């Protein structure tokens, strides 16, 4: 794998730090490299009391695999450890803020038991929070 593949661009993505009904709250993030040298960005969110982990990386030269294979891949890459319920993940393709094709892979506590093996950084305290929507509007 060429190290010239850039990291996924998540700049400009609006973050939500205020809990609101049916809205995910952004908790933390980290960056790293996959075994093939490809950079990734992982984000921790919380939705309706459950924690979720989403990993983003460029789709360049990455094979098409199904959700079950991505669940195994998360553990093989050393990103998660699965609990008793076994591996479960969903994945999809998208385009990042720079127009590059990316994969996103997500697992969550309401689907399965997992432990993130990543050292997440909290979002900066001075980050501009997105206010909860006003239910009256």
pTM: 0.86
pLDDT of 3 reads 52
Residue 3 lies in a domain: no
How many domains are contained in the chain?
1
pLDDT greater at residue 137 or residue 12: 12
Answer yes or no: is pLDDT of 28 > 70.
Answer: yes
Residue 71 lies in a domain: yes
Is 137 contained in some domain?
A: no
Residue 55's domain comprises 25-122
Query: For residue 136, what pLDDT is reported?
Result: 44
Q: Is the pLDDT of residue 117 over 80?
A: yes
Neighbours of 45 (CB within 10 A): 20
Is the pLDDT higher at 103 or at 3? 103
Nearest-angstrom CA–CA distance, 109 and 123: 21
61 lies in a domain?
yes
């Amino acid at each position: 794998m060429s190290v010239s593949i850039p990291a996924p661009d998540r700049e400009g993505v609006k973050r939500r730090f205020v809990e609101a009904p049916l809205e995910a709250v952004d908790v933390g993030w980290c960056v790293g490299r996959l075994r093939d040298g490809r950079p990734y960005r992982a984000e921790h969110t919380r939705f309706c009391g459950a924690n979720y982990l989403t990993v983003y990386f460029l789709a360049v030269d990455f094979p098409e695999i199904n959700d079950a294979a991505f669940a195994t891949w998360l553990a093989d890459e050393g990103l998660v450890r699965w609990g008793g319920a076994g591996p479960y993940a969903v994945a999809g393709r998208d385009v990042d803020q720079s127009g590059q094709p990316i994969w996103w892979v997500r697992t969550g506590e309401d689907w399965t038991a997992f432990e993130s093996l990543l050292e997440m950084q909290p979002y900066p305290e001075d980050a501009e929070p997105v206010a909860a929507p006003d239910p009256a509007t």
